[in-house]
Chains A and B, each alone.
Chain A
């Protein structure tokens, strides 16, 4: 299996505080990799390092074959990212947002047009092409944001709690989009607090206090912790956490 993310003892310190302590893991191509942990466990910090938004303190890591210390701009060319905060432009229309992001990733004008149509059809937003994004319901915005984050067909897409505040039906639809992308060979690296979503992942890692406390497929994790569901696995691990958000 081809590895698209490899980390070895990846560490980030903020002063005395060790946000991520010697993380070592690999992610395979086309995998849906769940990145779980309580608030403050260090998930977002780890993700930001992998996206080239944050310089690691020590250790090694490569994303899409590029080094996170020296080749962040090359990494950025090959990944998509969707942050916790909704990040499309509210005062642009649906198709203007797609056009803008496709454009800055260097897509050709002709391709942008066909890609926009394709995306709108896939999301069922054909009639909303000229609607301002601010007028869309949250669930639609999230789905659109996901589609825009992979508009340039990246190798990997990083999703930071993409379904926060979204209703169960829309969450289910959102995961259909994720599967669809994974089928096309996009590796999905996703953080979530919903344990049912953890079950959808090929493999799951659970972070506690800056270290990876467990990493395996949901089936094996449940076996290992003698638990009925992922919720129970998570609870057993996260309970030991000494630090929280504050």
Chain B
């Protein structure tokens, strides 16, 4: 225990002395947390649409008004031919081209059906997809509207089924509520895994680790001495993130802080284990950097921050199960949005614990005081 005390004293002295590093570890994530939720918003706005109105009827005018009135679409212009419309899409002046055929109103009235043609620029997948489905929604609404107007008419079909959905836990689909917890996880992940790896590799580069290795320090004590400072740093960073999320994005966790912090400690244990493992395989900070960058990139892309894990192929889902961040992101989202307790998240906690034990044991076995 006394040895651990002296190790910790040394680690904290060194950490506090590196003011510039410490500043970066705190300020850089804070800036990211402020900027990223604003940018990483899935709701699609400002989809520009070019319209070819060959009908020039009151109905076609009404449809166009309805589309542009909602706020999701902005009118890029009217053109007289579909060819011209496509050209605008090609030149990136429009994301969508909508063609209203001649006799749209007449067919609608007479044959009770009208055809519209939509061309979508699929270069930007999300925008195209969502834009397309927004547009279908608007057209559907328009269709319902005119049918209601015709209800007096005999030509109307039988009543239609309509679905009304309500969004639980996030009624207004506020993306910040969904993104801030996940982004905070990615920031804590990067800090804990990378900095703990760099710290130990730095001792290798400086040759001080050799001096430690000839002392009677037990290797698990040395490793615990390395992990605790970054555990503390991780908790500070996480707390700062919660405060910023609350002030800037009004994200107030519904669940208890004890559950959040309890899970955080388990999570940090796993991620610091990864950092440690990386350090045992790296002789230089450059190697450690490359290795940890590899993992962190995969974690950020595959752990469900931006895209849902459930829609991945089965093999990918199986791999993602072994990523601690995927579990912690689930925990964060359910606790922050839904107020889940320990019993609701126990599966994820157990998974992180097992991964953490594997990583740390592997690291301790692979860290040798003898070469």
Contact = CB atoms under 8 A, between A and B. Distances in A.
Interface of A: 48, 51-55, 72-73, 76-77, 79-81, 83, 85-92, 96, 99-101, 103-106
A55 B2 CA distance: 28
Contacts of B217: 104
Contacts of A90: 206
29 contacts: A52-B370, A53-B213, A53-B371, A73-B216, A76-B215, A76-B216, A77-B216, A81-B214, A83-B207, A83-B210, A85-B207, A85-B210, A87-B207, A87-B211, A88-B211, A89-B10, A89-B208, A91-B17, A92-B13, A96-B10, A100-B10, A101-B215, A103-B3, A103-B5, A104-B6, A104-B7, A105-B216, A106-B2, A106-B3
B167 interface: no
Which size bracket describes the interface of B in this complex?
Answer: 20 to 34
Contacts, number: 74
Given A100-B9, A106-B2, 20 more contacts: A73-B218, A76-B214, A79-B214, A80-B214, A81-B211, A81-B214, A83-B207, A83-B210, A86-B207, A87-B206, A87-B208, A91-B14, A91-B18, A92-B14, A99-B6, A103-B3, A103-B6, A104-B6, A104-B7, A105-B215
6 tightest A-B CB contacts, nearest first: A85-B207, A103-B6, A87-B211, A81-B214, A76-B216, A77-B216
A72 B217 CA distance: 12
Contacts of A79: 214
B369 interface: yes
B222 to A, nearest CB: 9
Contacts of A83: 207, 210-211
Main secondary structure of the interface of B (DSSP, over half): helix
B214 A52 contact: yes
A24 to B, nearest CB: 22
Interface in B1-56: 2-3, 5-7, 9-10, 13-14, 17-18
Nearest to B221: A104
B16 to A, nearest CB: 10
